Amino acid sequence: ADRRDGGVRVEVVDAEAADGARAGANGNGAAPAERSLLRRSDSSFTRLGRALFFGVEPSADTLAIALVYFVQGVVGLSNLAVSFFLKDEIGLSPAEVAFVTSCGTFPWLIKPLYGFVSDSFPLAGYRRRSYMAVCGVAGSLGWATLATLAHGKGAVIGGLVLSNVGVAMADVVVDSVVVERVREVDDPDLEGSLQSLSWGARAVGSIIAALYGGHLVEEYGPRFVFTVTAALPLLVTAVALVLEEERVDGASGEWLSPAGAARAAREQTLSLWRAVRRRDIWSPTAFLFLWQATPQASQAMFFFQTEELGFTPEFLGRVQLATAIASLCGVVLYNNLLQRTPLRKIFLYSALVGTALSLTQLVLVNGLNTQLGVPNEVFAVADSIALAVVGQVAFMPVLVLAARVCPEGVEATLFALLMSICNAGYVSSGLLGGVITDSLGVSKDDFGNLSTLILICGMSSLLPLPLLSMVPSESAKGEEAKRA
């Protein structure tokens, strides 16, 4: 069978039709015409499946990959709940909210540790399945902690850290599965398609979360939302049961002995060191960190929108819904039109457009949109949609590039390291934004310097552009063709 284009060769159909004729002659099975019709129906379902899975052949593995990323998106059900919980129930300022949420994302900064453990020390004989099962339980316990025990900053940080450990480690494990599957199949388009499937599934989860998140916060409160969210990571535990993986030989003894642990650590460290010394790995990664690390004013804008403009959780949920749909559109846009666009060109134009769009928040803060007859709600939704599309388009080639440069044997560890560096830049962005917010005196009662904060954060996004030479000039597919 030739399924690369979603079709089936005629010889296969004829052979199975012949089998059906023989079975029919014996009184069993369907007639040849019926079997041929069933095969055509199967072919149609195959093409439909490939279309729904961004061109990837549907299988247990691809379903597992899609579902793990779907959970990453759908746990966003609690995003608004966390913000309102910290602002209203814990009583924190914008700068304090930025600090607490940044601390809560710490598990995303040590993803290489999860990758090293997953690659080197099989759990119950498996490197992927067992860890995914544990991740689901950890994430569920974290959200349960926020729902029942969190009454101060320390407990909130603890619950956020535990929930993010579950999601971050599951992300590392499933990323390693993606890298392994890319190497197993000789298909240059699979790399980008698998990344599109992953982030497309995450966007779908985000859409569902945004559809209900704001309404649930407004009607039932943040703690109820945390309780509902606690059930979602258990889907990762369930999907571990269908993930196809062979048991590791000798996992019951050698890998857990002191000698085996030391040997694994040494081999992994040397392989990782050889990889990170390559300029084509560390150079673009350094640029991405600097680009991600520019300060942001998101927490200050959240306080302004809720305290000054009166945006309700229900409306902010609709904004998140529009943003999630826009992110999915960004995935589709990149997958169909931009895979052959040079990376530097994507980063340059997305940075310029993103900076310009971020500065449009000055229009909202100063009420210029209402003077032009544009309601605050309409302006906020339109601005969020545009930023989401640009941001997702800029992020997709990063994932493809990171997956391609990972050498065999340290897939999870190196890919996790690259993503952790990007996450460290994002956390630094939140912390820097919080410091600037506090230094300018912006609080839930004083937004006098909010325009200055937005201007500083927006213009700082242009600072890394002179370093664009650190990014490969080729497109994601162009570089692979060059290596081939």
In whole angstroms, give the CA distance from residue 391 to residue 362.
19
With 0.85 as the threshold, say if the pTM is over it. no
Instruction: Say if CB 195 and CB 396 are below 8 A apart.
Output: yes
Query: What would the mean pLDDT of 184-209 be, rounded to a whole number?
Result: 72
Task: Give residue 38's pLDDT.
Answer: 37
Query: What would the mean pLDDT of 239-264 be, rounded to a whole number?
Result: 65
Task: Give residue 3's pLDDT.
Answer: 33
Query: What would the mean pLDDT of 334-353 be, rounded to a whole number?
Result: 82
pLDDT band at 22 (very low <50, low <70, confident <90, very high): very low
Task: Give residue 407's pLDDT.
Answer: 62
Burial environment of residue 425 by CB neighbours within 10 A (0 to 12, 13 to 18, 19 or more): buried
Q: What H or E segment, with its residue span, contains residue 73?
A: helix 60-74
Q: At CA 198, angle to CA 160 and CA 405, rounded to 5?
A: 100
Task: Give residue 21's pLDDT.
Answer: 37
Percent of the chain whose predicted confidence (pLDDT) is above 90: 35
> What's the mean per-residue pLDDT of the chain?
79
Instruction: Say if CB 193 and CB 182 are below 8 A apart.
Output: no
276/102: higher pLDDT: 102
In whole angstroms, give the CA distance from residue 103 to residue 399.
24
Q: Sign of the C-alpha dihedral, residues 186, 188, 189, 194? A: positive
> Does residue 27 have a pLDDT over 90?
no
Amino acid in the structure at residue 7: G
The pLDDT tens digits for 98-142 are 999 999 999 988 887 887 788 777 888 888 888 989 999 999 999
The pLDDT tens digits for 308-336 are 999 999 999 999 888 888 887 887 888 78
Query: What would the mean pLDDT of 214-221 be, rounded to a whole number?
Result: 93
Instruction: Say if CB 110 and CB 243 are below 8 A apart.
Output: no
Instruction: Say if CB 123 and CB 69 are below 8 A apart.
Output: no
| Nearest in space to 478 (alpha carbons), one of 212, 273, 191 | 191
The pLDDT tens digits for 401-430 are 666 666 665 666 677 777 788 889 888 999
Query: What would the mean pLDDT of 70-77 be, rounded to a whole number?
Result: 91
Query: 126 forms bridges with which residues in the sheet?
Result: 123
pLDDT band at 200 (very low <50, low <70, confident <90, very high): confident
Most confident of 43-47, 217-221, 474-478, 480-484: 217-221
Task: Give residue 426's pLDDT.
Answer: 87
